[in-house]
Chains A and B, each alone.
Chain A
């Protein structure tokens, strides 16, 4: 990996962490996981059965939180202009942002899944499956968040539009992610395939959106 790329990733990571920015999605993830038992009721068996799916839906919602901070501030402050002038391609910038976003968002969520699974009374076996599927699926979620963030950058009400754009596109991740919790290796493979396609495509979509936003 080239050193400018590492340099960009380090900057985005640092900016994600300052002011507790990276903790927000995690707090949101935990909050959603806590709210479901209130809504469903204290039926331990029922919670244990639907808990894995709840964690996946919570991760999906948590991925929405930082979308507006991913690309728009750097476009407004001229940082993207500066990088493009230095000959960095828009896709490279987007790829760096994708990696930084995943590093800021996924590991904390994977850790937060531990207390959340205790709240939902998940078995150790289910917890392991949730963690594995989240590990495979979160790069896809991060890629979607980045592409959406770049597409809506500069729009008014960007957050709401981003949600409308991202959630339908995230359905395959949710289906295969939650589906893999029943122990099917096939669902995990499909989850990995969807995640890979999103990670491979998102930098180019986001890069094109960034370039289109220059005019």
Chain B
């Protein structure tokens, strides 16, 4: 259903015909005034067409030249962006994640084995035994031995000598 404005416009532009035209004209309260307004609208249209049509574009060739230059410039500017966008590889996603995960697990396993090995290593005995025969003169005491027993925690040191004929006065066990 057309509004009055739509019908009026169509009537002014001679777009109504047949039954639609007769019905519209019959609905006009003042037919003479309507036709006068239609004539005015025609005059307005002619005035606009005459005065506004074909406003010249000066420097037409320069217009096209400027446009070509802009298109070329923008195309060149867009190219590096496209190049940067397309070659993005998916290699970093799954394969590298898998290999990185495997490497991490391997490092973790090596560290774990090393730490466990360290923990299992036998503890140093609290008893330290040194055999100090260096200071025993074999010609004087051929079967002589000197041993030292030391308990660090208890701060106890025992000097054990065997087979010594004499103990030199200046002897010092180290």
Please determine whether chains A and B interact with each other in the same assembly.
Answer: no
Q: Which residues of A contact B (CB under 8 A)?
A: none
Q: Which residues of B contact A (CB under 8 A)?
A: none
